[in-house]
Amino acid sequence: MLPPSAPKRRLSTLASWSALAVLCAASGCGPGLWVPGTIESVTYLYVSHTTTDEIGIYRVERESGSLTPIGSRTTSSDPVELTVHGGFLVAAVSVPGVESHRIDPETGELHAADLLGFGTNPAAVAFASGNLYVSDLTDSSIRALRMNSRGEFQSLPFSPVAAFSTGALIASPGGAHLYGLDTLGNQLEGFDLLSDGDLTPTPSLPLATPTNPADVAVTPSGDFLYVCAQGASQVARFQVTTGGTVSSLGNTSGTNPCTQLLVHPSGRFLYVLEPTAIAAYTINASTGNLTAIATFGSFTNPFAFTVEPSGEFLYVSDSAADVLVGFHVNRTTGGLTEVDASPFPTLVGTPEGLVTATLEL
């Protein structure tokens, strides 16, 4: 785990219609990965448990949003970050590096595919243009890997790339840019991706963020970035123009310190995970400005949240209460309503990070 002064690790997810579509266009969707328009599909929720070195598995019931427990998968070490790509779940594990698991579309069960050791301290993962990028807190670098159709990893020749100490990485739609947070320097950082996957610093970055930045999110259009922080009650707004130039739009006040934020798949709403609730905002598609909607939920110690690809359901892990809380998303207003039977007890104790995967049957 990170020291108390550092932000909680964000569990990255391709949990939006647009992100999945862009990923498929950029790098090809492997067997089993669902894309919009598929008739027969199923959604699974995966939950990291670093205290027991396990990943909990749940099926998301399509009509109600309820969670049906399936089982768990033991990992080689603490699963500190999860993402999904091409029909595989990829976990950054504290020792030794990253591991991949093939997702069984019929059952949601995970089958080990590969393990690649760094011997260091991976913290955040993101796929961009078919490559996997892993931040390393020990030496402030980013590892660049290629994952083949069998889920096997290969380090790219230029890896690792000197970077910054970050617990959050996110790729732009289309995979042309990679953004992260310098948690020590309180800055938004970024790289442009070259044709071979190598990283070159974005000329317009870094830019200042509020104190102790915790997470970064990007709209499906790629036009706006948002950063929230543990050390300030603000969300920083940034605009990305043609060519990838990033500029500051100022800060939106009124939120509590946060650990995570996400943009709804529609691009219309921003959700901020606060110490005891979720703050919701509408996003102005032209200016990136935020307008408060309301706060929703009541949690003891929320660790992470995610929205499933259709944008209809949102889930929160409450690590103090050992439960998962599910919400129905009103896709007109952005409001959240807790689903029936929520909260849901966890399978193996304290829940932390979340990621969803929707696959065709």
* Assigned token pair, 148: 């083949």
pLDDT of residue 11: 45
pTM: 0.89
pLDDT of residue 118: 77
pLDDT of residue 231: 85
pLDDT of residue 41: 94
The topology (CATH level 3) of 17-360 is Methylamine Dehydrogenase; Chain H (2.130.10)
CB within 8 Å of 351: residues ≥ 6 apart: 47, 48, 49, 56, 303, 317, 318, 319, 322, 323, 324
Residue stretches of the chain with pLDDT short of 50? 1-38
pLDDT tens track for 191-203: 999 999 999 999 9
* Assigned token pair, 340: 């029936």
Helix (H, G, I), strand (E, B) or coil at 22: helix
Interatomic CA distance for residues 206 and 244, integer angstroms: 13
pLDDT of residue 165: 82
Cβ neighbours of 290 (radius 10 Å): 24
pLDDT tens track for 69-106: 999 999 999 999 999 999 999 999 987 799 999 999 99
pLDDT of residue 119: 65
CB within 8 Å of 16: residues ≥ 6 apart: 220, 263, 264, 265, 307, 309, 311
